[in-house]
Structure 1
Amino acid sequence: MLLNLTELFAFQAGHKEKKEIVLELEVFKNGAESYKILRKTPVSFVFTNLAPGRVRVEGKAEVVLKMQCSRCLKDVEQEIQLSFAVDVVSPEVPLEEADDQTFMEGYQLNVESLFSNEILMNLPTKVLCRPDCKGICRVCGKDLNLGECGCDTFVPDPRMAAIKDIFNANKEV
């Protein structure tokens, strides 16, 4: 969705406008992974003129993604609060090093690109169904949150593998 900012660029410094935009984005894609958007609030924007041709875009929204627990792979509803502020400039204004025009296409702001970028920046590094999730057994695959499986989960230290045969009862030392 593109939002035309032509009129906003013409106002004097200090001018503010508020808008709410409902995005039609149903799936958030992050490389090979994609997450279904279960719920989202309209994006509340505040546009503030900093100078002629320069506008600060501030926004807030909330989104709930369907993700998987990193340990047991159960589906989890992950709520993400979004709050952002970016400065954009009109095409006539010379760009400075700090100017980020990633979300601008001429005089238009790509709202979905901005929204997706903010989701990406706020994704949790590890999603858990609950803080004490035990995950799945690496031997049989049973969900350990439902109970123990009885598998032998002892993993020998790989650094000791070289001397393991020394203590073999069948060999002479």
Structure 2
Amino acid sequence: MGVICVRVDISQLFGHRGKSIPIDLSIDINDTEGYPDVVGFLEPVKIKGTLTNIDDIIVLDAEGDTLLNVSCSRCLAPVNVKLNFKLYEMFSKTGNIDEDIEAVTEDSIDLYPYVRNEVFENIPMKIVCKDDCKGLCPSCGKNLNEGNCDCDTSYINPKFDSLRALFNVDEEV
């Protein structure tokens, strides 16, 4: 996969405090490395907002959305997820003023890594196809939403047998 770059020219903002430029982008993200539950993007990531020079710090303030196809955390069925997020970044040509401000050495900013990070940070940890998803059988792997299997579910790993005494059904806790 080639390197993806989404460069935005910010040269007109330098030296003009208070000046803004609109941002309206559509970005294809095909790199899902590190996110095995993400099957793919069903539409490009759309970004709308502004880049503004505030006291010689370039502030990106935008909102984004996209439609993802992810795997259900229980049964692995495909699930479409609409994702909405905010994107707020600060840049400075004078160097890193603090850890929240990125240094800019050119007259343009590559927004791709910031957009990609924000998208993946906003994906919910556990996505299920439906609230009552039964998941997969731990023995045979059958999707239990499609029906039961014939596996013996009474087996308890002997390593956990001592825990059974803690949950004696005849005793009141």
TM-score interval, normalised by the smaller of the two chains: 0.7 to 0.9
> Which residue pairs with 1:170 in the alignment?
none
Offset of residue 26 of structure 1: 4.2
Offset of residue 136 of structure 1: 1.0
Q: Is the 8 A contact 1:28 1:37 kept in 2?
A: no
Offset of residue 81 of structure 1: 0.7
Q: Does 1:18 align with 2:22?
A: yes
Structure 1 counterpart SS, 2:145: coil
Question: Could you tell me the TM-score, scaled by structure 1's length?
Answer: 0.78
> Which residue pairs with 2:90 in the alignment?
87
Unmatched tracts of structure 1, length 5 or more: 162-173
Unmatched tracts of structure 2, length 5 or more: 1-5, 163-173
> Which residue pairs with 1:78 in the alignment?
81
Offset of residue 3 of structure 1: 1.0
Partners of 2:33 and 2:123 in 1: how far apart?
10
1:84-125 Cα deviation digits (max 9, x unpaired): 1111112xx1422234327x5623211211110101211211
Offset of residue 159 of structure 1: 4.1
> Which residue pairs with 2:102 in the alignment?
101
Structure 1 counterpart SS, 2:144: coil
Runs of 4+ in 1 over 3 A off after TM superposition: 32-35
- Please list, as runs of the form range in 1=range in 2, the aligned pairs for 1:1-173 lying within 5 A after superposition: 1-12=6-17, 14-23=18-27, 25-31=28-34, 33=36, 35-40=39-44, 42-52=46-56, 54-90=57-93, 93-101=94-102, 104=104, 106-156=106-156, 157-160=158-161
Partners of 2:146 and 2:26 in 1: how far apart?
40
Partners of 2:130 and 2:99 in 1: how far apart?
40
The structure-2 alpha-carbon separation of the partners of 1:41 and 1:32, relative to structure 1 and needing over 3 Å to count, comes to closer
Partners of 2:119 and 2:51 in 1: how far apart?
20
Partners of 1:132 and 1:9 in 2: how far apart?
54
Please provide the CA RMSD for this pair: 2.2
Partners of 2:100 and 2:150 in 1: how far apart?
58
Structure 2 counterpart SS, 1:78: strand
Partners of 1:154 and 1:40 in 2: how far apart?
47
Question: Could you tell me the TM-score, scaled by structure 2's length?
Answer: 0.78
Q: Percent identity?
A: 23
The structure-2 alpha-carbon separation of the partners of 1:74 and 1:18, relative to structure 1 and needing over 3 Å to count, comes to same
Aligned residue pairs total 155
Structure 2 counterpart SS, 1:27: coil
Structure 2 counterpart SS, 1:128: coil
Partners of 1:85 and 1:69 in 2: how far apart?
30
Offset of residue 152 of structure 1: 1.4
